[in-house]
Structure 1
């Protein structure tokens, strides 16, 4: 068990209350005090990295089709917010969260470039975990495009003197290895959703890469976190939305908690750590 406070990462922004991956979701998360943001990226047919989780646009827009076959202009013509019944994340009953976003921020496609620009312009440090989605028809081009974009921002190198706010994540071990070759010092995270021996994980991703299991996997195997940390790897956990799962993360020594509910998760952490 640890009394160290894990970093709270807003999964796809404050996606419990705003349409995921929209600028509104990220502005809401920042307004709620999230320490870091998470986004998924896919490559459009004309080579732009956009913040979309699914292979298709069907679930989170009013259109249909495969993201990788559509150009940026086509994707920007869709409504990315009306599918989500909006609510407001708040603290105590009756509290209201200030409305910090415009309606257009809830409906427009968000490019990764735009999201990084928002982070660069903040008056406080905020980190971002960028997940590259695979498989994709573009293969290694996704990571190459990401590395070039990070270079534009000066965020492709990570040193103690000048840390990058970015870390890259993927369920693809090949993508993680590819990013290590492209950006040797950038923090990396290998996402896992099924049980596998640590020796297998060690053989798939380089030393120093953090490991991020599903919280349900961690709950079923309480010693998993200990085994990951024993290898000198950070433990990141997704997606943590209940007090019970926050406790699992604390007991496992997690460094990072990825959540759809950043405000609730931060309050839960506050109450649990006060009692330690």
Structure 2
């Protein structure tokens, strides 16, 4: 299989899952910002992950949540100009700025958070000549399919299992068990429609059987977001191809061997 996830796994240290710096390897207001990615350049990680949304004036920016909370103020990204968000979030990057500064440092996972800007992402990846570096993931099946039609050589990943982290904390273990039982019914049609060849799973739903099932059918399996070394060791033993973490250096030793 082609794509950055394959090259990273085939490189040095291929006896372990590839290590992915989730949102650049940071939490809070620093995540997805230029200072974080500048630090990550010096870290022994295989891939960086970041999130992309579009502002009201059409800028593609690196931000995870639909609403940004800063200093007691709330900014709805889709209703806010990029200049206002820059003033509120130090180090905010547009997609073009990230690709210009960091896009060729190592493979990256771009998580497309909403529908409607597939053409802009495709154009940016082509403009900066980084299609070969990119793995684009999303929960949006038809967005992935459209993007794949625009850039046939682009690696795509379908993200699933969000209920295991979005449910109230006391219910998360129950949600994960339910998802383990029903996930394939939702996952396989989505993979077929989207044409994605990678799967991005919330870590609580990962099992050795599920990983084997998917890998035998040619899919790569990645998991998010694992900050506990014990859980990192568990999903590594399950056979995942990559692990995304906010604290990649903390889990690195735990996944050194499967």
- The TM-score normalised by the length of structure 2 is 0.80
Instruction: Report deviation, 1:61.
Output: 6.2
- 1:130 paired residue number: 110
User: Within the alignment, does 1:41 sit opposite 2:52 as a pair?
Assistant: yes
Distance 1:225 1:110 in 2: 34
Return the offset for 1:121: 5.9
Given the superposition, is the C-alpha separation of residues 121 and 76 from structure 1 closer, same or farther in structure 2, using an over 3 Å criterion?
A: same
CA distance in 1, matches of 2:190, 2:43: 37
CA contact (8 A) 1:10 1:262 kept: yes
Report the CA distance shift for 1:209/1:121 in structure 2 as closer, same or farther (over 3 A): closer
Q: Which has the higher helix share?
A: 2
Change (3 A) 1:43 1:244: same
Identify the structure with the greater strand proportion.
2
Instruction: Determine if contact 1:21/1:39 at 8 Å carries over to the other structure.
Output: yes
The reply to whether residue 209 of structure 1 matches residue 192 of structure 2 is: no
Q: Deviations over 1:136-174 (max 9, x none)?
A: xxx32x111100111101233xxxxxxx11110001112
**1:226-245 mapped onto 2 (5 Å cutoff):** 226-245=212-231
Q: For residue 12 of structure 1, give the secondary structure of its aligned residue in structure 2.
A: helix
How many residue pairs end up in the alignment?
225
Aligned partner (choices 65, 70, 82) of residue 54 of structure 1: 65
Q: Structure 1 residue 222: deviation in Å?
A: 3.8
Correspondence for 1:246 among 225, 232, 246: 232
Contact 2:230 2:254 in 1 (8 A): no
Deviation at 1:197, TM superposition (A): 4.4
Match status 1:265 vs 2:245: no
Distance across 2 between alignment mates of 1:120 and 1:12: 14
CA offset at residue 36 of structure 1? Answer: 0.9
The alignment status of 1:114 with 2:97, answered yes or no, reads: yes
Partner-residue secondary structure (3-state), 1:223: helix
Runs ≥4 residues deviating over 6 A: none
**Structure 1: segments with no counterpart, 5+ residues:** 81-106, 157-163
Among 115, 125, 143, the alignment partner of 2:118 is 143
RMSD: 2.1
Greater radius of gyration (CA)? 1
